[in-house]
Structure 1
């Protein structure tokens, strides 16, 4: 059997490996029940869903009409994205979500070919408000919203 689309094939393999890894890792936590899910319930289901999507992409790569090898690794965008995530991890405890998340969106947007400041700022505002609504307001997680020097 010939792999016609190498990009989709290896993407599918990566999705399967990561999805199964999350599912196996989630078995270390309590599952709870459907009415009261435990901390392992959501990551397990999400990992399985990711593995299923990966299997679909992998099977599709075998029947694809698009043929071509994998291109070169785009090191600059990859470095910018990884650096943005590391920056977020270090700034969140000190600067709070209100500053760290827009900073993450702004710096990671620099990895793309098309950068429009207005779109990035709108995206940052929507993601920050949505993250506040879900994680701080909805789930009552203890995540600092404002910088530590503000209180």
Structure 2
């Protein structure tokens, strides 16, 4: 069978593989059933639905004719590096790295770092807009996670709060 749209086929393949991985990983938890859900129920169902959507997209890539076959272009390495780096920086700043003596910097600084680093992946950078976005996300995260859900997340670095 000939692939008629490479973009659709490989995007569907990616969704299917990630969905199967999530579903498989969820089986290590207690799944339960629809009436009494365990901690693995939602990830299992999410993985199954994601895999099914991926299979549907793969089928469309095999069945729907396109003019040029929707070839896959070059990798956008700059964007990949900045987006992955932003997520890595967020995790390190939020939790710290005790193995090298780096303390946790708190949720607010981690969100600002995440937004600033991720925004460098785009084609244009406007510091004012980036700082406004970071402020909105930081305030929204504080309201949602600290105030509403009462989660025990370090908000500020230890050297500020004492």
TM-score by length of 2: 0.78
Structure 1: state its 5+ residue gaps: none
**1:144 matched residue in structure 2:** 154
Q: How does 1:51-130 map to 2 (within 5 A)?
A: 51-62=51-62, 63-66=64-67, 67-93=69-95, 94-130=104-140
TM-score by length of 1: 0.83
Distance of 1:35 and 1:146 partners within structure 2: 40
Distance 1:144-1:15 versus aligned 2 partners, 3 A rule: same
Structure 2: state its 5+ residue gaps: 96-103
Distance 1:41-1:133 versus aligned 2 partners, 3 A rule: farther
Whichever of the two has the greater Rg, that structure is 2
Distance 1:138-1:40 versus aligned 2 partners, 3 A rule: farther
Q: Give the aligned length.
A: 151
Distance 1:88-1:41 versus aligned 2 partners, 3 A rule: same
- Deviation >4 Å, runs of 4+: 32-37
Distance 1:69-1:22 versus aligned 2 partners, 3 A rule: same
Distance of 2:136 and 2:49 partners within structure 1: 26
**2:26 matched residue in structure 1:** 26
